[in-house]
C-alpha cells in the first residue's frame, strides 16, 4: 500500500485505548468513575484492589486518554476524561449483548430473575417526576449519592434497605436505580421490595446514563474535596 503509516499510527493509538478497556477490573473502575470523581484510595477500596494495583490500572487508562487526574491536597482524584468514554463502554456492552450467547444468558438468568419487568424509561420517569407521582430511590452507597443523584431521590444504600423499609411509601410507585445497566444494586433492591409488597420498578440504566441524557441532576454539595 502507498500508505505512509499515518493510519498505522492512529490505529496503534486506538488499539491502546481498546486495550485499556480490556480488563475486568478496569471496566469496573470506569463504572465507579462514571458516578463521579474519586481518589485512588477510594477506588481501590471500592473495587477490591490493593492500592498499587489500582494505581497501575488508573495510570494505564490515563495514558490511553480514558481518564484524567488532578491533585487536591495529598489525594489524587481521577475522573472520566470525556462523556465519550461512557458512550464507548455502552457500545462495548451493546456488542456483547447482541452477539455473545453467554452474555444474554447471564442477563436473562441473573438479572431478569430479579426483575422480569421492563425498566422505566428515562423519559417516562422525567415526566412522572414533574408530575410528582413517583418516589425515586437511589440504592447506591451514600458517598456516591453525594456526588450527584436524581432530583428528589432518597438514598437508602442496598445494605441498609431491609431495615429501613418504613421510610418508603406503600401506596406510591417507587422507581429504583443505581450505577448503571449492570449494577446489581437496583436489581436486588427491586427483588427485595417486591417481596415486601412495594410497587417498585427499576430505572433504565443508572445515574450516569441519566446525566448523560442531559436530564436534571442534584448534588448533595457535601463531598467535593
Contact 77, 69 (CB under 8 A): yes
Q: Which of 175, 171, 181 is nearest to 129 (CA)?
A: 175
Q: Which of residues 84-103 bind a copy of itself (CB under 8 A)?
A: 84-85, 87-96, 98-100, 102-103
Structural element, H or E, at residue 212: helix 207-212
Q: Are 16 and 64 in contact (CB under 8 A)?
A: yes
HSE toward the beta carbon, residue 211, CA cutoff 13 A:
19
Task: Report the distance separating Cα 77 and Cα 151, nearest Å.
Answer: 25
Residue (37 or 134) nearer to a copy of itself, CB: 37
Query: Which listed option, DNA, a copy of itself, none, makes contact with residue 132 (CB within 5 to 8 Å by class)?
Result: none
Q: Give the one entry of a copy of itself, DNA, none that residue 57 binds, where binding means its C-beta sits below a cut-off of 5 to 8 angstroms depending on kind.
A: DNA
Min dist CB 40 to DNA, Å, is 4
- The contact pattern for a copy of itself, residues 1-40, with x = CB under 8 A and - = no contact, is xxxx-xxxxxxxxxxxxxx-xxxx-xxx------------
Number of helices (H), then strands (E), in the chain: 12, 7
For the question of residue 183 being annotated catalytic, the response is no
For residue 148, the partner it binds in DNA, a copy of itself, none, with Cβ less than 5 to 8 A by kind, is none
CA 190 to each of CA 119, 120, 177, 211: distance values in angstroms, whole numbers, following the listed order: 11, 12, 9, 22
- Residue 82 touches a copy of itself, criterion: CB under 8 A: yes
Residue with cell 462523556: 83
Out of 47, 178, 183, 200, which one is annotated catalytic? 178
Shortest spacing between CB 188 and a copy of itself, in angstroms: 7
Neighbour tally for 43: CB within 10 Å: 21
Q: Which is nearer to DNA, 35 or 135 (CB)?
A: 35
Site residues (CB under 8 A) for a copy of itself? 1-4, 6-19, 21-24, 26-28, 48, 64-66, 81-82, 84-85, 87-96, 98-100, 102-103, 106-107, 109-111, 158-159, 182-184, 188
* Residues designated as active site: 178
Amino acid at each position: 500500500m502507498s500508505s505512509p503509516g499515518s493510519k498505522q499510527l492512529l490505529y496503534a493509538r486506538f488499539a491502546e485505548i481498546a486495550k485499556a478497556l480490556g480488563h475486568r477490573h478496569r471496566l469496573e473502575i470506569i463504572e465507579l468513575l462514571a458516578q463521579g470523581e474519586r481518589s485512588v484510595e477510594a477506588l481501590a477500596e471500592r473495587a477490591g484492589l490493593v492500592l498499587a494495583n489500582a494505581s497501575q490500572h488508573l495510570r494505564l487508562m490515563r495514558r490511553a486518554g480514558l481518564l484524567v487526574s488532578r491533585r487536591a491536597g495529598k489525594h489524587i482524584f481521577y475522573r472520566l476524561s470525556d462523556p465519550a468514554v461512557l458512550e464507548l463502554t455502552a457500545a462495548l456492552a451493546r456488542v456483547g449483548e447482541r452477539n455473545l450467547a453467554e452474555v444474554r444468558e447471564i442477563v436473562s438468568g441473573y438479572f431478569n430473575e430479579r426483575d422480569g419487568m421492563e425498566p422505566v424509561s428515562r423519559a417516562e420517569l422525567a415526566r412522572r417526576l414533574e408530575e410528582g407521582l413517583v418516589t425515586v430511590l437511589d440504592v447506591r452507597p451514600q458517598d456516591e449519592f453525594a456526588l450527584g443523584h436524581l432530583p428528589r431521590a432518597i438514598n437508602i444504600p442496598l445494605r441498609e434497605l431491609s431495615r429501613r423499609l418504613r421510610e418508603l411509601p406503600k401506596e406510591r410507585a417507587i422507581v429504583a436505580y443505581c450505577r448503571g445497566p449492570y449494577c446489581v444494586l437496583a436489581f436486588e433492591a427491586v427483588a427485595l421490595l417486591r417481596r415486601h409488597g412495594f410497587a417498585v420498578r427499576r430505572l433504565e440504566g443508572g445515574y450516569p446514563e441519566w446525566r448523560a441524557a442531559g436530564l436534571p441532576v442534584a448534588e448533595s454539595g457535601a463531598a467535593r474535596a
